[in-house]
């Protein structure tokens, strides 16, 4: 299975995001596209791919009936090869502490957009992510947004608009991208050669982001899950000292607590589903079916519900920036206790 990011160039290759695509194709067909768009949504759900597909459709020499680019004309071929002169991507440079898009890049952009697109069609410029624009760069970009040059279209991407200059946001048309449905990610992973059990687990852990699903390593996740199950078993023994050690160990490393909670939540969710008689295809951990069936025989369903609620509460607390060690201590106390009558 390939771990590389998908190279998507056309609307028809984009997973989900149906409303955004209908809107863009319609706007394109009736000639009502805005000069600047702000694509909002989580990482890895198709924002940059949609910008590329939009550039392809805007410059295609024989647009298909469904509003998508043909994929065969010289413009489409150049775009797919990454050599289209009128499609540009501006990314942050990572010198210094934080990756930033600096004012020089925006000045270059302003100089370029003073001239018409080389191919005679539309120039599309992707700025990804807009959060990386430093103050000077955002101010310089504002001038371009205020006096949009003809035949130029800017696409900015961001997670949420809160971290952007309100003046920049107000001059862009906002389009909301949503996390992808898990079955869509699972099927895409399978299409790229993943086994059903692999695709199921990775999709369930992806949070609706295809990029994250592709970046996850199945063997690593299986090893992590083994550790999580060992930890859960030890916590259930009920001794306080190992519990505190566990909380301290997880809290020390960034991301470890979230990873633990994600896998633990998924495991308990599966146990609840299995207890309700759900088919194995719905389980993220279907490769552990015998183990899960044995666990279901040992415990009453109410136990899984209570533990799942405690894990979900800990996830909320971590997201709200509560102290990780305290959150995990508290969770550990909720997870302890062996079989209940």
Binding residues (CB under 5 A) for Zn ion: these are 60, 69-70, 73, 76
For residues 36 and 76, which CB has a smaller minimum distance to Zn ion in the complex? 76
Residue 207 CB, nearest distance to Zn ion (Å)?
34
Residue 6 CB, nearest distance to Zn ion (Å)?
20
**CA-to-CA distance for 206 and 214, rounded, in angstroms?**
9
Classify residue 100 by its DSSP letter.
Answer: B
Residue 112 CB, nearest distance to Zn ion (Å)?
23
For residues 63 and 189, which CB has a smaller minimum distance to Zn ion in the complex? 63
Residue 77 CB, nearest distance to Zn ion (Å)?
8
Residue 28 CB, nearest distance to Zn ion (Å)?
13
For residues 61 and 245, which CB has a smaller minimum distance to Zn ion in the complex? 61
For residues 70 and 112, which CB has a smaller minimum distance to Zn ion in the complex? 70
Q: Write the DSSP assignment of 242-284 as a string of letters.
A: HHHHHHHHHHHSTTHHHHHHHHHHHHHHHHHHHHTT--GGG-T
Both structure tokens of 74: 């010289």
Q: Write the DSSP assignment of 144-198 as a string of letters.
A: HHHSPPTTEEEEEEES-GGGS-HHHHHTSEEEE--PPPHHHHHHHHHHTT--HHH
Element (H, E) at 332: helix 324-335
For residues 60 and 141, which CB has a smaller minimum distance to Zn ion in the complex? 60
């Amino acid at each position: 299975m390939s771990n590389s990011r998908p190279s998507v160039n056309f609307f028809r290759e984009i997973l989900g995001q149906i409303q955004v695509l209908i809107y863009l194709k319609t706007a394109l067909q009736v000639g009502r596209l805005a000069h600047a768009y702000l694509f909002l949504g989580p990482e890895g759900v198709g924002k940059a791919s949609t910008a590329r597909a939009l550039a392809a459709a805007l410059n295609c020499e024989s647009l298909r009936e469904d509003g998508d680019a043909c994929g065969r004309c010289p413009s489409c071929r150049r775009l797919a090869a990454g050599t289209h002169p009128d499609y540009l991507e501006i990314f942050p440079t990572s010198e210094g502490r934080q990756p930033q898009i600096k004012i020089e890049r925006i000045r270059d952009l302003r100089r370029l957009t003073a001239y018409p697109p080389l191919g005679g069609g539309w120039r599309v410029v992707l700025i990804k992510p807009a959060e990386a624009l430093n103050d000077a760069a955002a101010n310089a970009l504002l001038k371009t947004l205020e006096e949009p040059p003809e035949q130029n279209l800017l696409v900015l991407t961001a997670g949420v608009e809160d971290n952007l200059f309100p003046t920049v946001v107000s001059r862009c048309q906002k389009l909301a991208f949503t996390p992808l449905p898990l079955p869509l990610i699972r099927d895409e992973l399978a299409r790229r050669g993943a086994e059903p059990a692999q695709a199921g687990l990775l999709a369930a852990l992806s949070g609706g982001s295809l990029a994250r699903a592709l970046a996850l390593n199945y063997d690593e996740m299986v090893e992590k899950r083994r550790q999580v199950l060992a930890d859960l078993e030890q916590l259930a023994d009920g001794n306080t000292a190992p519990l505190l050690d566990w909380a301290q160990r997880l809290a020390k490393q960034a991301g470890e607590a979230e990873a633990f909670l994600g896998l633990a939540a998924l495991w308990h969710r599966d146990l609840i589903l299995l207890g309700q008689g759900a088919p194995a295809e719905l389980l993220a951990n279907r490769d552990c079916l015998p183990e899960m069936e044995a666990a279901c025989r040992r415990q009453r369903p109410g136990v899984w519900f209570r533990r799942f609620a405690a894990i979900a509460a800990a996830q909320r607390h971590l997201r709200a920036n509560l102290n990780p060690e305290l959150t995990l201590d508290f969770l550990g106390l909720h997870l302890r206790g062996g079989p209940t009558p």
